[in-house]
């Protein structure tokens, strides 16, 4: 994946860069409007992470510029503004998704992966991890060609973990992803455990290795043993 | 009471009072003047009789002239001399009618004898005059009252029209829209001033609203960015993966606190937005559909705590923001789950007028502060903002939310405004 991060907050940008770099991803960054529009014009990206509040320009204008250039880059808006108008304006201008600060890096990664998958729909609609295959278009999971029947939540959890493979994903992030932050179930993660347990069981019964590990009770990691 | 009605009342009462007083004074004066004139005529007649008597040494004939009669009566020599005016009756000899009259009783001395002379004049003419004057006064009073009424009815209503147009404009004023308060063209300075002031005020309100909106946005941005940094650094720290159990526990606590802080901040911003009516995407919502969806969404939580759901939903459509409706239902549902007991029950009923959500739970004792900000029971894991937000949402749409507790059953009732 080739990703452009447009973010003026240095610390936040560094975290994102670090999280996305590796595993064949190429990450570039721009911290102001001028640099960002130059990069957008010169190169093509699989996904652009766009912070709306830039010091020298309105992020939404970059969206219209992209449209004018007839580029097919995926765009994920990152904004501190929780206002509905901005969300709608962004999506109207051709953004693919909208994420409100603060967010979990794992959530960001999952959404970027989803955008990139959608953009490259012609070929790559199967996520493969060793013997595990997920057909995203048909929502089917198989382990070494044995079909695995998952519930909707288990399926979403698996996609989320696969998007963040080899990363530690916190329980908070999983809870917010599966149930949304509005449900306000703060500090109550028992039910995540149930889903993790069921997912592990179903995958190993179908013959997959145990890729899912709990990390110090804070979170989970799905990846190479 | 309308200003014009009040003004009318004062005006009419004063007019009636003044006209009645004028009428009475008029009547009294004219009466006095006419009586004086009659008395002078009578005195002139008396004088003539005296002169006649002293010149000819005999009484004139007691003839009756037009509207005047003279009669004589012999008195005893030592009778007191009288001279007295009085109201009497006058008998018209031709028409045989009794009319009001005025008499002068006086006495003359003729050849040493005292003779009483009574001169009577008819008062009919002066009485007629007084009556006519009274009628004219009455007529004028009635005409004045009628014209006052007509003026009020037609002219005042037209005069006040610009006022009501402006009032209507103010009533329909919405901060989110930019149209001005329309003025009915008028030459009346007060109304023009009123309209100008109303528009100036509207402009100021709009300006404040804009500033508030941008402040909310900026505050949110400025506070969310450091929070986002903390969050992302925590996620990054988690990837280094070389913690002891103790460090892991510390990290988890920081995670919880950060999550809490960002939720708290979002809730406060949301409250501010609702209070300032910054959310304006009202649309028709199928409440039954939405609640059924919520029951599905919360199914796992219900199952986890072994809660039994009893739903009795009838069709109901309301006008409100989908976003806020979602938050309202989320709050009520999580409330019913959070304060429930394992194996408890939840009842949800939706009718055309009310939405009721009740749940089994422990007995608690705080009722009046329930909807206050940051009020919560000690065991509660929430922030104490959920119900405050719910109440604000209800206020915004004119719904009425109330709480009732019967032993172990807690009930929230929302009285939905009639569909508009």
B183 with B166: CB under 8 angstroms? yes
B245, B275, B305: which is the final residue of a domain?
Answer: B275
Q: In the prediction, which pLDDT does B86 show?
A: 86
* Residue B419: pLDDT over 50: no
A119, A136, A169: which is the final residue of a domain?
Answer: A119
What angle, rounded to 10 degrees, do the helices at A171-179 and A152-163 form? 130
Show which of residues 52-111 on chain B sit within 8 Å of chain A, judged by CB atoms.
none
* Residue B247: pLDDT over 70: yes
* Co-location of A115 and A130 in the same domain: no
pLDDT tens by residue, B107-161: 888 777 888 888 888 888 778 888 888 888 888 888 988 888 888 778 877 888 8
* Co-location of B329 and B219 in the same domain: no
pLDDT tens by residue, A138-161: 888 989 888 999 988 899 999 999
Choose the weakest-confidence range: A130-144, B89-103, B239-253. Answer: B89-103
CB contact under 8 A, A218 and B229: no
* Co-location of B297 and B401 in the same domain: yes
A-chain residue closest to B270, CA distance? A82
Instruction: Collapse the DSSP code of A21 into the 3-class scheme (helix H, G, I; strand E, B; otherwise coil) and give the result.
Output: coil
* Co-location of A90 and A52 in the same domain: yes
Question: Number of structural domains, chain B?
Answer: 3
Nearest to B383 by CA among B247, B265, B269, B236: B265
CB contact under 8 A, A183 and B233: no
Q: Does B384 touch chain A (CB under 8 A)?
A: no
* Co-location of A6 and A99 in the same domain: yes
CB contact under 8 A, B228 and A217: no
Q: B38 to each of A44, B71, B99, B251, B278, how far by Cα in Å? A: 123, 18, 15, 121, 88
Residue owning tokens 């500033």: B211
Half-sphere exposure of A209 (CA within 13 A, CB side): 8
Q: Does B380 touch chain A (CB under 8 A)?
A: no
pLDDT tens by residue, A27-79: 999 999 999 999 999 999 999 999 887 888 888 888 888 888 888 888 999 88
Q: Is residue B178 part of a domain?
A: no
CB contact under 8 A, A80 and B235: no
CB contact under 8 A, A172 and B259: yes
* Co-location of B293 and B348 in the same domain: yes
Q: In the prediction, which pLDDT does A82 show?
A: 62
* Co-location of B120 and B231 in the same domain: no
* Co-location of B270 and B292 in the same domain: no
What is the band of B103 on the pLDDT scale with cuts at 50, 70, 90? confident
Nearest to A102 among B224, B236, B241 (CB): B224
Question: Number of structural domains, chain A?
Answer: 2
Q: Is residue B166 part of a domain?
A: no
What is the band of B271 on the pLDDT scale with cuts at 50, 70, 90? confident
What is the band of B89 on the pLDDT scale with cuts at 50, 70, 90? confident
How far is residue A11's CA from residue B225's CA, in Å, rounded to a whole number? 10
pTM (predicted TM-score)? 0.64
Between B5 and A11, residue with greater pLDDT = A11
The parent domain of residue B353 ranges over 282-415
Choose the weakest-confidence range: A2-6, A199-203, B270-274. Answer: B270-274
Task: Tell me the CATH number at A31.
Answer: 3.40.50.2300
List of residues 6+ apart from B111 with CB closer than 8 A: B57
* Co-location of A113 and A73 in the same domain: yes
A-chain residue closest to B303, CA distance? A191
B327 with B271: CB under 8 angstroms? no
pLDDT tens by residue, A163-220: 998 889 988 888 888 877 555 554 567 778 888 999 999 999 988 888 998 887 788 9
What is the band of B382 on the pLDDT scale with cuts at 50, 70, 90? low
Q: In the prediction, which pLDDT does B179 show?
A: 72
* Co-location of A17 and A100 in the same domain: yes
* Co-location of A93 and A179 in the same domain: no
* Co-location of B345 and B383 in the same domain: yes
| Residues of chain B positioned with their CB less than 8 A from the CB of A183 | 297-298, 330, 334
Task: Tell me the CATH number at B322.
Answer: 3.30.565.10
Nearest to A216 by CA among B238, B95, B166: B238
Rounded to an integer, the average pLDDT of B330-341 is: 87
CB contact under 8 A, A185 and B334: yes
Q: Is residue B182 part of a domain?
A: no
* Co-location of B221 and B130 in the same domain: no
A89, A119, A149: which is the final residue of a domain?
Answer: A119
Q: Is residue B224 part of a domain?
A: yes
* Co-location of A111 and A195 in the same domain: no
* Co-location of A78 and A132 in the same domain: no
Between B384 and B102, residue with greater pLDDT = B102
Q: Is residue B291 part of a domain?
A: yes
Residue owning tokens 């002169």: B51
Q: Does B239 touch chain A (CB under 8 A)?
A: yes
Rounded to an integer, the average pLDDT of B41-53 is: 87
Examine residue A220 and say whether the peptide bond preceding it is cis (omega within 30 degrees of 0): no
Q: Is residue B420 part of a domain?
A: no
A203 with A147: CB under 8 angstroms? no
A91, A119, A147: which is the final residue of a domain?
Answer: A119
Rounded to an integer, the average pLDDT of B365-387 is: 71
* Co-location of A12 and A31 in the same domain: yes
B275, B296, B312: which is the final residue of a domain?
Answer: B275
* Co-location of A95 and A60 in the same domain: yes
Q: In the prediction, which pLDDT does A122 show?
A: 60
* Co-location of B47 and B110 in the same domain: yes
* Co-location of A6 and A110 in the same domain: yes
B262 with B292: CB under 8 angstroms? no
Q: Does A181 touch chain B (CB under 8 A)?
A: yes
Task: Tell me the CATH number at A157.
Answer: 1.10.10.10
Show which of residues 135-154 on chain A sit within 8 Å of chain B, judged by CB atoms.
153
* Co-location of B28 and B128 in the same domain: yes
* Co-location of B20 and B130 in the same domain: yes
How far is residue A3's CA from residue A6's CA, in Å, rounded to a whole number? 10
The mean of the pLDDT values for chain B is 83
What is the band of B380 on the pLDDT scale with cuts at 50, 70, 90? low
What is the band of B28 on the pLDDT scale with cuts at 50, 70, 90? confident
**Burial group, residue A133, by CB count within 10 angstroms (0-12, 13-18, 19+):** middle
* Co-location of B211 and B269 in the same domain: yes
A-chain residue closest to B240, CA distance? A168
CB contact under 8 A, A186 and B327: no
Q: In the prediction, which pLDDT does A65 show?
A: 87
Q: Does B327 touch chain A (CB under 8 A)?
A: yes
Nearest to B235 among A106, A182, A184 (CB): A106
* Co-location of B318 and B389 in the same domain: yes
* Residue B2: pLDDT over 80: no
* Residue B420: pLDDT over 70: no
The parent domain of residue A27 ranges over 2-119
| Residues of chain B positioned with their CB less than 8 A from the CB of A172 | 255-256, 259
* Co-location of A106 and A85 in the same domain: yes
What is the band of A13 on the pLDDT scale with cuts at 50, 70, 90? very high
How far is residue A19's CA from residue B239's CA, in Å, rounded to a whole number? 9
Q: Does B323 touch chain A (CB under 8 A)?
A: yes
DSSP per-residue letters across B284-347: EEEHHHHHHHHHHHTHHHHHHTTPEEEEEE---EEEEEHHHHHHHHHHHHHHHHHT--TT-EEE
Q: Does B299 touch chain A (CB under 8 A)?
A: no
A84 with A39: CB under 8 angstroms? no
Between A206 and B180, residue with greater pLDDT = A206
């Amino acid at each position: 994946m080739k990703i452009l991060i447009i973010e003026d907050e240095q610390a936040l940008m560094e975290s994102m860069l670090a999280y996305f770099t590796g595993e064949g991803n190429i990450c570039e960054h721009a911290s102001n409007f001028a640099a960002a529009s130059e990069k957008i014009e010169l190169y093509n990206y699989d996904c652009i992470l766009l912070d709306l509040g830039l010091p020298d320009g309105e992020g939404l204008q970059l969206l219209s510029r992209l449209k004018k250039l007839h580029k097919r880059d995926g765009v994920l808006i990152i904004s501190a503004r929780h206002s509905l108008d901005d969300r709608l304006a962004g999506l109207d201008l051709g953004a693919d998704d909208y994420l409100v600060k603060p967010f979990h890096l794992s959530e960001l990664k999952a959404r970027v992966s989803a955008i990139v998958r959608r953009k490259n729909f012609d070929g790559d609609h199967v996520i493969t991890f060793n013997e595990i295959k997920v057909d995203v278009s048909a929502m089917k999971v198989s382990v070494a060609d044995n079909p695995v029947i998952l519930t909707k939540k288990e399926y979403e959890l698996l996609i989320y973990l696969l998007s963040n493979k080899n990363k530690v994903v916190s329980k908070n992030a999983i809870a917010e992803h599966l149930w949304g932050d509005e449900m306000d179930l703060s500090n109550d993660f028992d039910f995540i455990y149930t889903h993790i347990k069921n997912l592990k069981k179903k995958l190993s019964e179908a013959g997959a290795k145990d890729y899912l590990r709990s990390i110090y009770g804070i979170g989970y990691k799905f990846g190479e043993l | 009471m309308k200003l014009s009605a009040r003004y009318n009342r004062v005006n009419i009462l004063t007019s009636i009072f003044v006209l009645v007083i004028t009428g009475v004074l008029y009547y009294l004066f004219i009466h006095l003047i006419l009586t004086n004139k009659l008395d002078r005529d009578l005195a002139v007649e008396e004088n003539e009789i005296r002169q006649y008597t002293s010149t000819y040494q005999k009484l004139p004939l007691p003839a009756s002239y037009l509207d005047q009669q003279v009669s004589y009566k012999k008195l005893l020599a030592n009778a007191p001399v009288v001279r007295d005016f009085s109201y009497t009756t006058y008998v018209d000899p031709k028409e045989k009618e009794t009319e009001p009259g005025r008499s002068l009783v006086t006495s003359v001395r003729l050849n040493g004898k005292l003779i009483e002379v009574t001169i009577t004049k008819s008062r009919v003419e002066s009485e007629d005059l007084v009556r006519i004057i009274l009628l004219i006064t009455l007529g004028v009073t009635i005409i004045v009252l009628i014209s006052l009424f007509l003026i009020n009815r037609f002219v005042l209503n037209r005069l006040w029209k610009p006022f009501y147009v402006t009032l209507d404009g103010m009533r329909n004023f919405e901060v989110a829209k930019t149209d001005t308060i329309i003025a009915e063209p008028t030459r009346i300075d007060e109304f023009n001033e009123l309209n100008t002031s109303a528009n100036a005020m509207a402009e100021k309100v709009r300006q404040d609203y804009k500033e508030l909106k941008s402040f909310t946005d900026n505050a949110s941005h400025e506070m969310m960015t450091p929070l986002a940094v903390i969050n992302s650094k925590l996620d990054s720290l988690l990837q280094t993966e070389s913690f002891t159990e103790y460090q892991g526990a510390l990290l988890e606590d920081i995670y919880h606190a950060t999550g809490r802080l960002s939720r708290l901040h979002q809730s406060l911003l949301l409250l501010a937005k609702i209070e300032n009516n910054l959310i304006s995407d009202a649309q028709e919502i199928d409440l039954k559909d939405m609640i059924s969806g919520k029951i599905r969404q919360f199914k796992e939580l219900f199952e986890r705590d072994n809660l039994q759901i009893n739903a009795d939903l009838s069709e109901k459509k309301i006008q409100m923001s989908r976003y806020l409706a979602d938050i309202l239902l989320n709050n009520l549902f999580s409330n019913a789950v959070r304060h429930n007991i394992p194996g408890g029950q939840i009842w949800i009923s939706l009718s055309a007028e009310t939405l009721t959500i009740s749940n089994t739970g422990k007995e608690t004792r705080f009722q009046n502060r329930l909807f206050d900000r940051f009020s919560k029971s000690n065991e509660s894991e929430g922030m104490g903002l959920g119900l405050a937000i719910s109440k604000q949402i209800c206020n915004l749409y004119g719904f009425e939310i109330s709480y009732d507790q019967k032993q172990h059953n807690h009930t929230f009732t929302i009285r939905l405004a009639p569909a508009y």
